[in-house]
Amino acid sequence: MDALLERLGVTRYALHVHDYGAPVGFRLALRHPERVTGIVSQNGNAYEEGLTPFWEPIRTYWADPSPANTAALGTVIDRDAVHWQYTHGVPDVERVDPSYELHDHALLTRPGNAGVQLALLLDYRTNPPLYPVWQEYLRTHRPPVLAVWGANDNIFAAAGAEAFARDVPDAQVHLLDAGHFPFVTHAAESADLIRAFLRALPR
């Protein structure tokens, strides 16, 4: 990502991070803190308290990726698993456009992708040890932070959003009545908050 931005000549940017994208964004911010004008996090975690019990079997897998521990994770690309991610914690599932699920499932079930997803999940173990480093970056550089978070997310808890205010005291934290994908079920609310935040950033 850094090489792409260099090639494009992009030297000032706000980061919008979610899920797997959060570790990418925070690594980029560490590399070039002077380039980051602000951070929008939508269920993009940087704190231990943001990790829910959902992660317990995954932590076991991190410690020992044996066949038994791998099998305990279930089928990560199963249609039911994708459906759960989109609908869990969503009071009105009618707000979830089914095309999102269908598109994700179609991509996830490409030949060989199950192994890729497991490898990606295993590699995620490199991120929690960096949480203190990312938090120090936030405390030191104090980038403007907007957390627009699904309050009912069972993957990254709302406590992970609230924790931003510990390191960036003027962080804006908004907990929406949503699950893991607030930008899917609460697109208008998310967009309004993000637009206002971006407009107020220094140029």
Distance CA 199, CA 203 (A): 9
What's the CA gap between 74 and 34, in Å, rounded?
42
Same domain, 113 and 136: no
The residue among 124, 156, 176 that closes a domain is 124
Last residue of a domain, one of 124, 141, 157: 124
- Token pair belonging to 21: 């994208």
Same domain for 106 and 133?
no
**pLDDT > 70 fraction of the chain, expressed in percent and rounded:** 100
Helix (H), strand (E) at residue 139 = helix 131-141
Mean pLDDT on 167-184: 98
Quick one: pLDDT band at residue 134, thresholds 50, 70, 90?
very high
**Does one domain contain both 95 and 134?**
no
Active site residue 180: yes
Which residue(s) pair with 16 in the sheet?
A: 40
pLDDT (tens digit, 9 = 90+) per residue, 38-92?
A: 999 999 999 999 999 999 999 999 999 999 999 988 777 899 999 999 999 999 9
Q: What pTM did the predictor assign?
A: 0.94
Average pLDDT, integer, range 134-158: 98
Residues 42 and 66 placed together within one structural domain of the fold: no
Q: 125 in the Ramachandran plot: left (φ > 0), alpha (ψ -120 to 50) or beta?
A: alpha
Structural domain range at position 32 = 2-51+128-199
Q: In this structure, are 163 and 175 located in the same domain?
A: yes
Annotated active-site residue in 16, 103, 105, 180: 180
- Compute the distance between CA of residue 148 and CA of residue 139 in angstroms, rounded to an integer: 20
Q: Give yes or no: residues 68 and 156 share one domain.
A: no
> Total structural domains in the chain?
2
For residue 7, the domain's CATH number is: 3.40.50.1820
Distance of CA 4 to the CA centre of its chain: 21
- pLDDT recorded at residue 194: 98
Last residue of a domain, one of 124, 150, 185: 124
Residue 127: CB atoms within 10 A of its CB come to 18
- How much is the pLDDT for 203? 76
Same domain, 16 and 105: no
Decide if 48 contacts 132 (C-beta within 8 A). Answer: no
Task: Check pLDDT > 80 for residue 113.
Answer: yes
Average pLDDT over the chain reads 96
DSSP 199: H
Q: Please, which residues have CB within 8 angstroms of residue 201's CB and are 6 or more apart in sequence?
A: 14, 37, 38, 144
